[in-house]
Amino acid sequence: MTSPSSSNDVFVGSLDQGTTSTRFIVYNREGRAIASHQVEFTQFYPEAGWVEHNPLEILESVRVCTAKALDKAAADGYNVDGGLKAVGITNQRETTVIWSKSTGLPLYNAIVWMDVRTSHICRRLEKDLTGGSKHFFETCGLPISTYFSATKILWLTENVDGVKKAIQAGDALFGTIDSWLIWNLTGGSGSANREEKPVRGIHVTDCSNAARTMLMNLKTLEWDQPTLDELGIPFEILPKIVSNSETIGVVANGWPLSGIPISGCLGDQHAAMLGQLCRKGQAKSTYGTGAFILLNTGDEIIRSSHGLLSTLAYKLGPCAPTNYALEGSIAIAGAAVQWLRDGLGIIGSASEIEEMAGMVENTGGVYFVPAFNGLFAPWWRDDARGVCIGITRFTTKGHIARAVLESMCFQVKDVLDSMNKDSGMASEENGKGQFLLRVDGGATVNNLLMQTQADILGSSVVRPSDIETTALGAAYAAGLAVGVWTEDQIFSGKNSDDTIFRPQIDEKQRNKRCDSWYKAVTRTFGLADLSL
């Protein structure tokens, strides 16, 4: 973006708080990472289908990551003390925290986005409200689902006495993880500061995270009062909504980033869109714990009739235009590889799956559908449970490993097919009637996975040289707000080091495999009751 001689004096930090780990990355003016540190944290599974995080453990992971990354940068000779201009935040979305305004302590563990404990609340709402699961669809672009924050808020208020009492006393604050981090980084309850007038935390969220709660009006980018009234959620517990690129506040004393402005905030998938430089008509897929495919639809809100969500892409400033997106969310992608490692012991580390899957030429007719907690887009079946079918005496660990990799690719194709039907934008990106797919996330280092994705899609898959585009997008937003970069400089970035995977199978093979996948998916429906 600028001359190399200027890249060692200006830096932007990116705090990437994900589902299983937290990272802090320092970028130079060229948008290249010069230091990073990552810390995993505990996953809690109190009951089948329940997933929780300890919000205080997440805060500690932030403290460790930022301190370690800054130390590494300084040890390598970078003047981060004087050159760090801003920090951006990106986070796992929908994960819900309610905490005490006075003590700063969480009133319950964070309920994670993939948690399905609220399924009975969803069924109740679908029964009581006109329009069933799509009652709020026109307002927020989302169906009633266990996925989104609103139903998690309802569960907390109905089942946790401390939450109920704090709300009644005016002492409760709700937030997704971005809100929890910003509130604490900018001062929290003020009790940790030794100043005569303690700095109090700023209670905000950005419009991309707010779009994932079921509570924000997509057109106005404000909390929707009729929705709040129908659900019985008090406006007072909600954070203020801001854009993705503006100075929100300054990190308070006591943190490694003390004095640095927080000037960018996006949900992880929206940050990845920005990091991938996706403009109207361009799609990306991020492969992490889940997989998330977003198509930038420009200033148009497209209402899906094929199982997708209408959401934001990004809004790069308070007065900037809003870019919208269609999204398909897949609950289990990389998490299935973790299950092979931790649950079955088939592999010793996630990186081993490529070698094991590569020991066989195909899956031997095995299909694996990872509906551990139901299926998200485009099916939206919380009654689904995982299946592995087509097993014979011929089946080996290699066949199962390969079927797990293919399951990610088939799910992504299901979503992209729906996007094509809803938007008709594929031709703008790829003349063959399919999207040219930009990919990112840790799993994309797996060349077999990426080649399989291209084969199943029947179109090219493009992997950037820096696959951590989620963190990069948050850095772009933060740097843009404080003048490190202009929007033109960000979007003119060149990708000469991209790796392109092109399909190597014919359409007949592709269609046969996709038909078998579809049959396998239908076998998962209605199995939830059998798992009780």
Domains identified in the chain, total number? 2
User: Angle at Cα 159 formed by Cα 158 and Cα 160, nearest 5°?
Assistant: 110
Note whether 232 and 339 are same-domain residues: no
Non-local CB neighbours of 495 within 8 Å, separated by 6+ positions: 277, 462, 464, 465
188 and 51 assigned to the same domain: yes
Question: Would you state the pLDDT for residue 496?
Answer: 63
Asked whether residue 242 falls in the same domain as residue 341, the answer is no
Q: Are residues 271 and 352 in the same domain?
A: no
Residue 5 pLDDT greater than 50, yes or no: no
Res 33 pLDDT > 50 = yes
Name the β-bridge partners of 368.
Answer: 388
Q: Comparing 530 with 494, which gets the higher pLDDT?
A: 494
Name, in order, each residue with C-beta under 8 angstroms of 490's C-beta and a sequence gap of 6 or more: 1, 274, 277, 476, 480
- Residue 349 pLDDT: 87
Answer whether residue 133 shows pLDDT above 50: yes
363 and 242 fall within a common domain: no
Q: Determine, yes or no, domain membership for 517.
A: yes
Domain shared by 51 and 174, yes or no = yes
Report whether pLDDT(436) > 70.
yes
Are residues 164 and 24 located together in one domain of the fold? yes
Residue 193's pLDDT is 45
* pLDDT band for position 6 (cuts 50, 70, 90): very low
Domain-located, residue 316: no
pLDDT band at 497 (very low <50, low <70, confident <90, very high): confident
**Domain residues for 119?**
4-276
pLDDT at 315 over 90: yes
Sheet with 33-40, side-by-side order of all strands? 33-40, 21-28, 11-17, 84-91, 261-267, 245-250
Query: Are 196 and 106 members of one domain?
Result: yes
How much is the pTM? Answer: 0.86
Query: Does residue 191 have a pLDDT over 80?
Result: no
**Which CATH number goes with the domain that contains 270?**
3.30.420.40
Classify residue 480: in a domain, yes or no.
Answer: no
